[in-house]
Amino acid sequence: MIKDSLQSLILELRAFSKERDWDQFHSPKNLSMALATETGELMEHFQWITETESQNIDDSKKVEVSFEMADILLYLVRMADMLEIDLIEASHQKMAVNHKKYPIALSKGKHQKYTELK
């Protein structure tokens, strides 16, 4: 179901871009820059608030945050499509790598990078 939903989103983004003749602008370079920009816009919502405040944002702020997160997802999905990368498969492969890097016995309850775990 998730993959079907992702495929549906890919198709919607393709059509949206084609209707506007935007494929000419959707190079991996440009999409990666747009992705970084949107990530910065998401971070702005949390920049000067405490950890606790960040976990308890009000409904109007949650809508704003959700739109920034959606922008990030849309640019990421579009970039993956342009590069012919299956994000679901790549994510499963990356999780397999993470399981090896962060074995439970060494990483449980710790925030250190895998190179610092003992």
DSSP-assigned states of every residue in 4-40: HHHHHHHHHHHHHHHHTT-GGG--HHHHHHHHHHHHH
Under 8 Å between Cβ of 65 and 57:
yes
Query: What pLDDT, on a 0 to 100 scale, did the predictor assign at position 51?
Result: 97
Tell whether 79 and 108 lie within a shared domain: no
As given in the structure block, the two tokens for residue 75 are 């640019």
pLDDT digits (tens, 9 = 90+) for 22-36: 999 999 999 999 999
Are residues 12 and 56 both part of a single domain? Answer: yes
The answer on 72 and 112 residing in a single domain is: no
| Token representation of residue 6 | 């992702």
Let me know whether 26 and 46 are in one domain: yes
Reported confidence tier of residue 118, pLDDT bands at 50, 70, 90: confident
Residue 2: predicted pLDDT: 67
Q: Which structural domain range is residue 68 located in?
A: 2-84
pLDDT surpasses 90 at 4:
no
Residue 109: pLDDT over 90: yes
Q: Comparing 2 with 79, which gets the higher pLDDT?
A: 79
> CB count, 10 Å around CB of 77?
19
* Domain identity same for 65 and 109: no
Q: Based on the fold, state whether residues 69 and 95 are members of the same structural domain.
A: no
Is the model's pLDDT at 89 over the cut of 70?
A: yes
Q: What percent of the chain has pLDDT over 90?
A: 89
Q: What are the tens digits of pLDDT across the range 42-70?
A: 999 999 999 999 999 999 999 999 999 99
